[in-house]
Chains A and B, each alone.
Chain A
Amino acid sequence: MTATLRAPVSACPACSAAPAAEALAERPPVDARLTLSLPTIHCAACMATVERALTAHPQVRAARVNLTLKRATVDAAPGVTAEELIPLVEGAGYEAHELDGTALNATATDRAGRELLMRLAVAGFAAMNVMLLSVAVWSGAEGPTRDLFHWISAAIVLPAVGFSAQPFFRNALTALRARALNMDVPISLAILLAVGTSLWETALSGEHAYFDAAITLTFFLLTGRYLDHRTRAVARSAAEELAALEVPRAVRIGTSGDETVAVVDLRVGDLIRLRPGGRMPVDGVIEEGTSETDRSLLTGETLPVLAEPGRAISAGEVNLTGPLLVRASAVGRNTSLARMADLVAVAESGRSRYTSLADRAAKLYAPGVHILAGLAFLGWLAWAGDLRVALNIAAAVLIITCPCALGLAVPAVTTAASGRLFRRGLLIKDATALERLAQVDTVVFDKTGTLTTGTPELTNIGDLPEEALRVAMALALGSAHPLSRAILTAGQTAGLRPETVSDITEVPGHGTEGLWQGRRVRLGRAAWTGGQPTEQTAAWLAVADEAPCAFLFSDRLREGAAEAVAALRASGLRVLLMSGDTPAAVEALARRLEIPQWVAEALPQDKSARVEALTREGAHVLMVGDGLNDTAALTAAHVSISPASALDAARVASDIVLLGQSLAPIPEALTTARKAVKRIRENFTVATWYNIIAVPLAVAGLCSPLIAALAMSASSITVSLNALRIR
């Protein structure tokens, strides 16, 4: 399914504008706050042009473009709708779509990110000041001066740690309550122990205090946390924007005529008007009107299906040619769409939970460090017999082993890799998606909407008489049917001009007819024009009583599909094709792309069962799909990718979203993921070697605060620089 087919859902110019304005007028006037998505803006001039175009509207108070999110926020007088504003922006030469404000609220202000940044700032401030004082101590401050410096450090560090390190304390507490150990437990313990023993030392006017270590540790670890958060916040906001692009409204026929209502307000028994180009919001039965519907997102069928009174129509189908009146038979959670989405939940429970590299490292690391510190404490207590010395040593062990490098090892790499992939148009939604992507050895593609765009393409243009094509073009001009569009595009590319055909009428569900040179001409279904039914998608042109001629179509390949499949096969991966479409169509595509294994007429359950079977055989499956029939398989797969044009449910189920039209970035994503995992492992190696060298020093009691600070910073910087190599 492509953007061209679904665009009318949100961009339908007048249909929803007028009733919405009426509904607004009844309520007390509220200022309109509109958000527009501007996917094509990229520079300072774009921002200025769009803002000028929007503020030119007399009722717009303020308009501000956000280039990072590629959005515009507009404050306008009550009653102004996006339908009035979009033409203004488009007139200035930029693409614009309305975004559903309620779906966006969650990302309007990134509360969690802001909180982390604030803690990071406080930790940074404290670390810098304490470091100044510590340098003075290291360079030889003695006696009361040293004590004074330690006390000032304590005064700075205590509140700073209390505020900044809260995320770690909270996580550690949750983990301990669940009787588990995660990375935050040793972190929290090290910070608390460092601050505690330092206070004790200072009170006894001791020589060493680890205040600087405690606060720099917090600072470095918060940096890792913030990087981690940033990566996913970008992906989340973009994913939410995709969902917000579909504004869920429907036209209901009420007692006082047509009214535009939110889809959630629809009830069973409501009569709904479905305009051509509209997506069916609920399940229902057609009461009036004949048309054709596109079910490709639900079943993978590319051929439009005839819709006539009495036929059931399910949520998610797109009406193509004529207006329909539909009586709702199931709404909300009961629609077939929702029930199919529930399959995802079933598949989800069967998915083996993947443990990330960081978690696995933490499982080894946390108990190891605690045992080591405990042994050091007991050893020194037995040998020196001094509780103070023993506690100091134990704190030093915890600080020096504390996972500065480990805490940065994964987030630094995933941030760099996600940034690289984001620039190529891939959005990583899940934290462990990159690691899982690196293990992939089998790739399963869906056909319709994934490898192909879902828009048909005229294939036998060479065999058709030029005159027939020109007549067909004239008839196709008046229709929004995808096959008509394809004929028109093909004719225009060949440089042909349409014939003059008069009295063109569209017979919904059948085709278009008109008068050409006094003769009746028809373009449409085989049964209606007198043509022979064929295996391939076809439209027939009949001129009066002459034998009709067939226009054959096949699905157009998505940009980069051939290259992506070839590249994946070349790198030794197993590639499969799975589709709900007819065997003939699937086989043709498989042959065209040289995919050896294919499955046709697969039901959603078949797809997920096949993926699960592959997984049981030991394969790590990457599933690429867009339709509702793919959602269960997307969840069942080891890792999944869906294009931005996919249905919301599919995008939610997948780990990675492809923002652009092209499939070409997929092979690159695999290489980048492998590189990223390699860097993560290298970072773990660096951290391990660092510990092997540093731990004996700490246990031997040779680790002064100066050495701890140097070692910690050195390992953190090494790890971050190594991560940057992936950009």
Chain B
Amino acid sequence: MNILTYLIPISLVLGGAGLAFFLYTLRSNQYDDPEGDARRILSGEYDDRPKPD
């Protein structure tokens, strides 16, 4: 029973971190060009940020 007091908050925090990270990617336009992003990783050119809004 005691273990639950750790595990449940941990699972919530981890899930929440995933959610927050997803919202961050969404807000920074990382889903605007899925096709292009998939191909950019094949190019040798350094390209670390998406199109600014």
Interface residues in chain A, defined as those with a beta carbon under 8 Å from any beta carbon in chain B: 43-45, 47-48, 64-69, 73, 109, 114, 117-118, 121-122, 125, 128-129, 132-133, 145, 148, 152, 156
Q: Would B33 and A66 count as touching, CB distance under 8 A?
A: yes
Which of A117, A132, A145, A156 makes the CB contact (< 8 A) with B26?
Answer: A117
Q: Is the CB of B11 within 8 A of A122?
A: no
Nearest 10 pairs of A and B residues by beta carbon: A67-B36, A44-B39, A125-B19, A66-B33, A68-B35, A67-B35, A64-B51, A68-B33, A44-B42, A44-B43
Q: Which residue of B is nearest A136, CB measured?
A: B4
**Contact, CB under 8 Å: B39 / A118:** no
Check A69/B29 contact, CB under 8 A, given A43-B39, A44-B40.
Answer: no
Q: Mark B3-32, 1 if CB is under 8 A from A, else 0.
A: 010001001100110110011001001011
A140 → B minimal CB distance (Å): 14
B48 at the interface (CB under 8 A from A): no
Which residues of B sit under 8 angstroms from A66, Cβ to Cβ?
A: 32-33, 36, 51
Q: Which residues of A contact B22 (CB under 8 A)?
A: 121
Instruction: Point out the residue from B11, B34, B42, B43 that lies within 8 Å of A68, measured CB to CB.
Output: B34
What are 13 contact pairs spanning A and B, CB under 8 A?
Answer: A44-B39, A44-B43, A47-B39, A47-B40, A48-B45, A65-B36, A66-B36, A67-B36, A67-B39, A69-B33, A109-B29, A109-B53, A121-B22
Q: Contact: A122 with B19, CB < 8 Å?
A: yes
Q: Taking the nearest CB of chain B, how far is it from the CB of A18, in angstroms?
A: 30
Q: Which of B1, B43, B53 contacts A48 (CB 8 A)?
A: B43
What's the least CB distance linking A562 to chain B, in Å? 34
- Once bound together, how far apart are the Cα atoms of A48 and B42, in whole Å? 11
> Which of A47, A117, A128 has a CB less than 8 Å from the CB of B43?
A47
Contact check: which of A43, A114, A125, A145 meets B15 at CB < 8 Å?
A125
Q: For A148, what are the chain B residues with a Cβ–Cβ distance below 8 Å?
A: 4
Q: Give every chain A residue within 8 A of B45 (Cβ-Cβ).
A: 48
Nearest chain B residue, comparing its CB with the CB of A108: B53
A65 to B39, CA, bound (A): 12
Question: Quick check: B32 and A68 within 8 Å, CB to CB?
Answer: yes
Complex contact B23–A132 (CB within 8 A): no
In angstroms, Cα B36 to Cα A67, docked, is 5
Residues on A with C-beta less than 8 A from B18 are: 125
Given A47-B43, A66-B51, A73-B51, is A132 in contact with B36 using a C-beta cutoff of 8 Å? no
CB of A462 to closest CB in B, whole Å: 48
Central interface residue in B16, B34, B43, by most chain A CB within 10 Å? B43
Partner pick for A132 among B11, B32, B43, CB 8 A cutoff: B11
Whether B23 lies near A121 (C-beta < 8 A) is yes
Could you list which residues of chain B lie within 8 angstroms of chain A, going by C-beta atoms?
1, 4, 8, 11-12, 15-16, 18-19, 22-23, 26, 29, 31-36, 39-40, 42-43, 45, 51, 53
Q: Is the CB–CB distance between A47 and B26 below 8 Å?
A: no
Chain A binding surface, main DSSP class: helix
Determine the chain A residues whose CB is within 8 A of the CB of B51 once the complex forms. Answer: 64, 66, 73
Q: Which residue of B is nearest A67, CB measured?
A: B36
Within the assembled complex, what's the spacing in Å between the Cα atoms of A37 and B4?
A: 56
Which residue of chain B has the shortest Cβ distance to A128 in the bound complex? Answer: B15
Q: Which residue of B lies closest to A75 (CB)?
A: B52
In the complex the two chains form, what is the Cα distance from A68 to B38 in whole Å?
Answer: 10
Interface centre among B16, B23, B32, B36 (most CB of A within 10 A): B36
C-alpha gap A623/B1 in the complex (Å)? 69
- Docked complex Cα distance between A536 and B34 (Å): 52
Q: With contacts A109-B53, A129-B11 known, is A121 near B31, CB below 8 A?
A: no
Whole-angstrom distance between the alpha carbons of A117 and B25 in the complex? Answer: 11
- Assuming the contacts A43-B39, A44-B39, A44-B40, asked whether A118 and B15 have C-beta atoms less than 8 A apart, the reply is no
Cα A156 to Cα B45 with chains together (Å):
43
Q: How far is the CA of A132 from the CA of B10 in the complex (A)?
A: 13
Q: Give chain A residues whose Cβ lies under 8 Å from the Cβ of B31.
A: 117
Query: What is the CA–CA distance of A132 and B15 in the complex, to the nearest angstrom?
Result: 12
Query: Which chain A positions have C-beta within 8 A of B42?
Result: 44
Q: Is the CB of A145 within 8 A of B36?
A: no
Q: Give the docked Cα–Cα distance between A122 and B23 (Å).
A: 9
Q: Which residue of B lies closest to A46 (CB)?
A: B39
Given the complex, which residues of B lie within 8 Å of A67, measured CB to CB?
Answer: 33, 35-36, 39
Knowing A48-B43, A109-B53, A145-B1, the reply to whether A68 touches B26 (Cβ < 8 A) is: no
Q: Which residues of B contact A121 (CB under 8 A)?
A: 19, 22-23, 26
Task: Tell me the nearest residue of chain A to B44, going by C-beta.
Answer: A48
Q: Which of A45, A125, A145 has the most CB of B within 10 A?
A: A125
Contacts of A64 in B (CB 8 A): 51
Known: A47-B40, A48-B45, A64-B51. 4 other contacts (CB 8 A): A44-B39, A44-B43, A125-B18, A156-B12
Bound state CA distance, A178 and B12, in angstroms?
41
**With the chains together, A132 CA to B29 CA distance in Å?**
31
| Bound-complex Cα distance A45 to B39 (A) | 9
Which residues from B are CB-within-8-Å of A48?
Answer: 43, 45
Nearest-Cβ distance from residue B7 to partner chain A, whole angstroms: 10
Closest Cβ neighbor of B42 among chain A residues:
A44
B31, B32, B40, B42: residue with the most chain A Cβ atoms closer than 10 Å: B32
Asked whether A152 and B32 contact (CB < 8 A) given A67-B39, A73-B51, the answer is no
Closest Cβ neighbor of A156 among chain B residues: B12
- Taking CB atoms, residues of chain B closer than 8 Å to A132 are 11
Chain A residues with CB under 8 A of B11: 129, 132
How far is it, in angstroms, between the C-alpha of A18 and the C-alpha of B42 when the chains are bound?
40
Return B21 CB to nearest CB of chain A, in Å: 10
Query: Whole-angstrom distance between the alpha carbons of A66 and B36 in the complex?
Result: 6
B4 partner residues in chain A, CB cutoff 8 A: 145, 148
Which residues of A lie under 8 Å from residue B33 when comparing CB positions? Answer: 66-69
Chain A's closest residue to B34 (CB) is A68
Shortest beta-carbon distance from B18 to chain A in Å: 7
Q: How far is the CB of A62 from chain B (nearest CB, A)?
A: 8
The CA of A109 and the CA of B18, in the complex, are separated in Å by 23
Residue of chain B at shortest CB distance from A121: B22
Q: Complex: how many Å from CA A699 to CA B16? A: 37
Q: Of all chain A residues, which has the CB nearest B1?
A: A145
Closest approach, in angstroms, between the C-beta of B38 and any C-beta of chain A?
8
B36 and A68 contacting across the interface, CB-CB below 8 Å: yes
Chain A hits for B43, CB < 8 A: 44-45, 47-48
| Cβ contact of A129, chosen from B1, B12, B23, B40, cutoff 8 A | B12
B41 to chain A, nearest CB (A): 8
Residues from chain A with a CB closer than 8 A to the CB of B35 are 67-68
Q: How far is the CA of A73 from the CA of B43 in the complex (A)?
A: 19
Most buried by B among A64, A69, A133: A64
Is A118 touching B26 in the complex (CB atoms < 8 A)? yes
B29: chain A residues at CB < 8 Å are 109
Cα distance, A66 to B1, chains bound together (Å): 52
Q: Shortest CB–CB separation between residue B30 and chain A, in angstroms?
A: 11
- Chain B residue with the shortest CB-CB distance to A148: B4
Looking at the assembled complex, report how far the CB atom of B28 sits from the nearest CB atom of chain A, in whole angstroms.
11
The answer to whether A47 touches B36, judged by C-beta atoms less than 8 angstroms apart, is yes
Q: How far is the CA of A476 from the CA of B20 in the complex (A)?
A: 66
B18 nearest CB neighbor, chain A only: A125
